[in-house]
Structure 1
Amino acid sequence: MFTPSSNDVRRFFCEAYRKQRAGEVLTPMDAIAADWIAQHPEYHEALSDVDAALERDYSVEGGQANPFLHLSMHLSISEQVSVDQPRGIKAAHDMLAARVGEHEAHHEIMECLGEMIWASQRSGLPPDATGYIDCVRRRASR
């Protein structure tokens, strides 16, 4: 299993953004990342300087969203939906996206994903995929 460091993740997004702006050939993963980056112009400055990105601390106390975490969650959700893993995420996503749009659906799913990860870390138990899907379905049926 590939487990990139936070610096690897930061380099990846900065490089995808650089390639996209330069009109270079993008890998399939670069292209997905570039699509989400384009939808988040508020992150463009942070992605423009890889050295600064590697040095920056996005602590909770700092009060600023971590663009690399946010974009990583978009990528994770995109991948989950594309392969329907955990099973049922595609249908739950599609219901939610039909109600609020693709981008906002991802943001709502991020809340569910974050809750699932937090609960798993807190309890020491494996992530609850069923609870995650149920959370997305509840948001879709509001």
Structure 2
Amino acid sequence: MAETPADAARPRVLFVCVHNAGRSQMAAGWLRHLSGGAVEVRSAGSMPAEQINPVAVDAMLEVGIDIRAEQPKVLTPEAVQASDVVVTMGCGDACPFYPGKRYEDWTLEDPAGQGIAAVRPIRDEIRARVRALLAELGVEPVGA
């Protein structure tokens, strides 16, 4: 399918963490929700898990964002090259670096193995960071 001029104008953001099961999936869910489609969103992991963290799913459902259908995906050089902004979340040296890309490293606690009470503040911190990223990209949030 050919890329339209509208697609070319949309910022492209890739969220990366090790397992692509918690932080990066929550961030992608927030960005899809808050951008209303104005941003192309990807997420991937350097060592993807078998499934998304069910506690992360539950935490996002609490705020009306359903990420149950998402699957952890392996990080590829093509995904990085196709992105304008690459947000890493603790993937260390496993994240490929390409000149000319904007990189951000978000230091966030890993929700793996934690209960819902510990995951809620991580979810809320990700929301705040996604809103700040949208402002930097010049995209007006469409939701809360």
Same fold (TM over 0.5): no
Structure of greater relative contact order (alpha carbons < 8 Å, 6+ residues apart): 2
TM class, shorter-chain normalised?
under 0.3
Which structure is higher in helix share? 1
Which structure is higher in strand share? 2
Rg larger for: 1
Instruction: Give the alignment's TM-score, normalised by structure 2.
Output: 0.27
Instruction: Give the alignment's TM-score, normalised by structure 1.
Output: 0.28
